[in-house]
Amino acid sequence: MILFLSGLAIILISAVAVLVIRDEVIRDRFFATFVVAGSALASIPAFRILGGAASEITRWHSGMPGGDWVIGIDPLSAVFLLAVLVVGAANAVYGVAYMRVGSDARLSRQASATYAALVTVLALVVTAQSVVLFLCAWELMAISSFLLVMTNHQETQVRRAGFIYIVATHTGTLLLFVMFAIWSNGAADWSFASLAANRPALMWGGGPLFLLALAGFGMKAGFVPLHFWLPPAHAASPSHVSAVMSGILIKMGIYGMLRVVMLAGPPPAWWGWTVLALGALSAVLGVLWALAQHDIKRLLAYHSVENIGIIMIGMGLGTLGTAYGHPMLAILGYGAAVLHTVNHALFKALLFMSAGAVYRMTGTRNIEEMGGLARRMPVTFAAFLIGSVAIIGVPPLNGFVSEWLVYQGLFRAGYSSDAARIALLAAPVLALAGGLALACFAKAAGVMFLGNPRSDKPLAAREVGAAMLVPQLALAAACVAIGLLPMLVVGPFLFIGATIAGEQRSQALEAWSYVSPAAQNVALFAVVLLLVAAAIWAGRRFVLNRRSVRGDATWGCGYGATTPRMQYTASSFAAPLLAVFEPLTGVQEHRGATVFHSTGRDLVLDRIVSPLWARIQRSALRLRPIQDGRLHFYLLYVVASVVICLAYLVIAP
Amino acid sequence: MNFTTPAVIAFLVVLLLAPAVAGVATRTKSLLTGRKGAPTLQLYFDLWKLVQRGAVFSETTTWIFRFAPVLVVATILLAATVVPLDGRLSLIKFSGDAVAFAYALGLGRFFLVLAALDTGSSFEGMGASREVTFASLVEVGLFLSFGTLVVVTHEISLSGMLGAPFALHWTANAAALVMIGACLFALLLAECARVPVDDPATHLELTMVHEVMVLDHSGPDLALILYGSALKLAVLGAMIISVLIPRANLSPAASIAVLMLGLIVVGIGVGIVESIMARLRLPKVPLYLAGASSLALFSLILVLWNPA
């Protein structure tokens, strides 16, 4: 615990330091070093606990209303903490270099300080074990991330995105207040342990509590239809902030849901069905909407919606496993959900970093204006490609390992003898999402990096510096390592799954003895795949070295005067798939004699949230007269409220 | 890894016979349409010829273009290692290898599509776009089929689903399994770029799907792609054979004989479909694939609501 807290202290020191140190180079070095060092220090207890050490817990008598402050690291906290620290540290290094460019340079100080604060409170969110501390950290997280989203607040788009974000996140927080208020009613104190003990007293078997938690935490996690704040906020933020938001901040919603499930005890089956259905919906709609986007950061943001869906399919499966009494299913489901959370944190942060590097070099986020960047930015391209292969969930990278684990759970559910077998129907949905994700990243990687430049913006692009490349390569290495060595990684995640499900360690061991040989074979499959590819590559080289090889123009099917403008665009590439799912995509096509392009709108934001918001604003206008700016009326209101409260106290028993 | 002799022999048989299966399809078509046609073994000659040729690379392309054909063949080979080609046991068997099978093919497709976009050609981009459109719909039918097999056999590996005790399930689930076989055959036609989804004999780039993606590949790279396509046809064909003809009770030699005969029958089947119908209009293809998927969905519902 002392290591954890001193790690956080070091990260906070860096926040103060950037505000004090004048010299730019020293400041950035100091900041990056301290955040990385602090993260390394704070991650030691997390590693220890994942390795099997006992959970740590500390209570302080803070003297504040709301009782003691409790900080604890259990396996669930530990794994989220690791994700926070790894992604947080990598993006700190990347972020200072990213912010050094152009007009952003003068904003880099406050951005760095807020960033360090955000990483600290994120670490606090996953370790807080009492309600008041948790909600404080939750609120600080919302505010610091809001400030980071608003970094470029001089742009209208950014202000709008920031506003939507702050309204959405506070709506979620409000629901969490209500949830914890209901839950702590009758509990001994406000610590999570007491909440867990208060479980039998919950109204209607905890149903309202579950729905409040689902909506409150779901607002942060961003499943459909609560995702509407996510794409604008991700697009508006500086790229390292997008990486942290998509990689770890939205995962706090997942953490919250898992924590509630863990504390609220054996859940009824309908909780699991709800989460599973929402997950399946988010997985497909998220990727479908991503396919319609040509702003790379919005595209990646919608993919977060998809991946939250995959995580929720795992969670729902875990809940069903507990509800129907299949410990193995529960462990597999929760284990897969948490593993996919970590994997997504790694590859999504990586993709946002690569996209940010491209944005820095081309000055555009519109992939229709890119092209030909693979030659100009080969390392960034390799990093983006690794991220893409990971996110579409194919071997030999980490995305495959967690999706494979989700499928294990879904298929196992399929041959149980009770209603849990219906969960198998989520498997083809997940497969469809996988196929669509492949299409979407083929579009993104292909149109951004391959072919000829589609405008003059990519012409001057060159590779970014080491400070922006090394963090990308570090995360890419983590993706490769988990993909090639799943047998080392899956075990601890099954134990975390068992912790969430409230199963015994022996059950986790049984699940592990079932999964372990398969995990070894997954590794074998991945390694043999690479070896076979290497062997064929060598054979091809051997053959081609003896033949004449020359370069020429791309075959134009008989037409000699092709131009870069004739290349297939992202809009055209996505059009046939979007046509299949027509009414769900929200895509608008613009056709002309010589033009075709499409724009993807957010159906939930445009059709539901914005009209609703307009209506709220209109009705709020009617209340306007009571707030007319005259002080004596305000005093009257205060007096009247106090009198009413007093009257209530007298009348109430 | 299970290097049982029958498994290794079956694997090699599929590897070696793959180009002939495609040849049988072409031969059937030419016989049925009253033409003389190319020899059945033409693809072997083509491959041999291409390996001896040099190569021309578009100056737009990067390493992706050169690496994709390699990865396509590697992924199909790996996908073949988890299919119980001898009717009993695959070379690599693990719980969930069905997922690895589908997703390994996905990796190969991803790189092939990237290679098409790498050329900057609008024709190849068009083919790539169609390929990913149809492939993502194929996944649905494939996983519905896997789901049915899982429910029937209580196994999550392909060897478990299609291997030893599989014959027993035919008595109880014949209807579901026939529908799975039909669905998989329909998916095979789509996945291997055959009529009614794509026409391997077409000469107009605008109407192509798979072929147009690989316009720029030449020499040994084109050989790899052609061989990969043939191998995919053979592997998917072998999977259908395993579903329709459980071979666990046969002797290894008989089992491999059935495999070889079965592959010829698959080739003839593909050829017959190509002779009797034309390619569908592109907007109709998703409906075709949805139809195939609904066959598998019906079979899944059958076995889910009727746990035998």
Residues 237-256 of A with CB under 8 A from B: none
Quick check: B215 pLDDT over 80?
A: yes
Give the distance from residue B156's alpha carbon to the nearest chain A alpha carbon, in angstroms: 7
**Tell me, what's the pLDDT at B135?**
95
Alpha helices in A324-425 (DSSP H): 327-362, 373-376, 378-391, 398-414
Choose the mutation target among A436, A525, A542, A594 for the interface with B, i.e. most B CBs under 10 Å.
A525
Give percent of chain B with pLDDT exceeding 90.
80
Identify which of A242, A259, A343, A346 has the alpha carbon closest to the alpha carbon of residue A298. Answer: A242
Question: Rounded CA gap, A52 and A492, in Å?
Answer: 8
- Nearest Cα to A498, choosing from A513, A488, A509? A509
Task: Return the axis-axis angle of helices A505-544 and B97-118, rounded to nearest 10°.
Answer: 40
Q: State how far the Cα of A517 lies from the Cα of B298, in Å rounded to an integer.
A: 33
**Average pLDDT of chain B, as a whole number:** 92
Question: Does B124 reach chain A within 8 Å, measured CB to CB?
Answer: yes
Q: Domain ranges in chain A?
A: 603-651
Cis peptide leading into A396, omega within 30 of 0? Answer: yes
The larger pLDDT score, comparing residue A630 to residue A322, is at A322
If one compares A204 and A45, the residue with the highest pLDDT of the two is: A45
Which pLDDT score is estimated for A483? Answer: 96
Residue of B133, B158, B305 for testing the chain A interface, max A β-carbons within 10 Å: B133
Residue B308 has pLDDT above 60, yes or no: no
Most confident of A55-59, A187-191, A325-329, A596-600: A325-329
- Asked if A333 and A317 touch (Cβ cutoff 8 Å), the reply is yes
A 89-128 near B (Cβ less than 8 A): none
Contact A43, A86 (CB under 8 A): yes
Give percent above pLDDT 70 in chain B. 98
In contact, B112 and B129? CB cutoff 8 Å: no
Provide the CA A187 distance to its chain's centre, in angstroms.
33
pLDDT mean over A629-652: 92
- Distance of CA A291 to CAs A279, B124, B195, B262, Å? 18, 19, 28, 40
Indicate the burial class of A36 (C-beta count within 10 angstroms; 0-12, 13-18, 19 or more). Answer: buried
Tell me what pLDDT residue B197 has.
92
Cα A545 from Cα A551, distance rounded (Å): 15
Please give the DSSP secondary-structure letter assigned to residue A558: T
Q: Which of A529, A550, A565, A571 to mutate to test the interface with B (most CBs of B within 10 A)?
A: A529
**What tens digit of pLDDT does each residue of A309-343 get?**
999 999 999 999 999 999 999 999 999 999 999 99
From A65's Cα to the closest Cα of chain B, the distance in A is 52
Reported as a single tens digit per residue, the pLDDT across B252-290 is: 999 999 999 999 999 999 999 999 999 999 889 999 999
Q: How far is A602 from chain B (nearest CA, A)?
A: 22
Q: How far apart are CA B223 and CA B217, in angstroms?
A: 9
Q: What is the mean pLDDT of chain A?
A: 93
pLDDT number for residue B307: 54
Contacts of A349 (CB under 8 A, 6+ apart): A87, A90, A91, A243, A244, A246, A247, A248, A475
Confidence at B57, pLDDT banded by 50, 70, 90: very high
Of A529, A568, A574, Cβ closest to residue B75: A529
Say yes or no for a CB contact (<8 Å) between A576 and B140: no
Residue B238, helix vs strand vs coil = helix
Amino acid at position A243, single letter: A
pLDDT digits (tens, 9 = 90+) for A291-318: 999 999 999 999 999 999 999 999 999 9
Residue A189: the pLDDT is: 85
Q: What is the mean pLDDT of residues A182-205?
A: 83
| Percent of chain A clearing pLDDT 70 (strictly above) | 100
B contacts of A556 (beta carbons < 8 Å): 121, 123
Q: Hey, is the C-beta of B286 within 8 angstroms of any chain A C-beta?
A: yes
A225 preceded by a cis bond (ω within 30 of 0): yes
**Spatial separation of the C-alpha atoms in residues B105 and A434, rounded to whole Å:** 12
Check CB contact under 8 Å for A554 and B119: yes
Lowest mean pLDDT among A197-206, A458-467, A626-635, B21-30: A197-206
pLDDT tens track for A238-263 = 999 999 999 999 999 999 999 999 99
Chain A interface includes B173 (CB < 8 A): no
Most confident option among A416-420, B136-140, B163-167? B136-140
Of the listed ranges A84-98, A496-510, B57-71, B195-209, the least confidently predicted one is B195-209
Structure tokens at A586: 């929200």
pLDDT at B170 (0 to 100): 82
Confidence of residue A206 (pLDDT cuts 50, 70, 90): confident
Question: For residue A202, is pLDDT > 80?
Answer: no
Query: Which whole number is the average pLDDT over A529-542?
Result: 97
Rounded to an integer, what distance in angstroms lies between the CA atom of residue B219 and that of residue A543?
10
What distance in Å separates the CA atoms of residue A47 and residue B140, rounded to the nearest whole number? 39
Residues in B 126-145 with any Cβ partner in A closer than 8 A: 126, 128-130, 132-133, 135-144
Determine the pLDDT at residue A108.
Answer: 87
**Least confident segment among A14-28, A429-443, B261-275:** A14-28
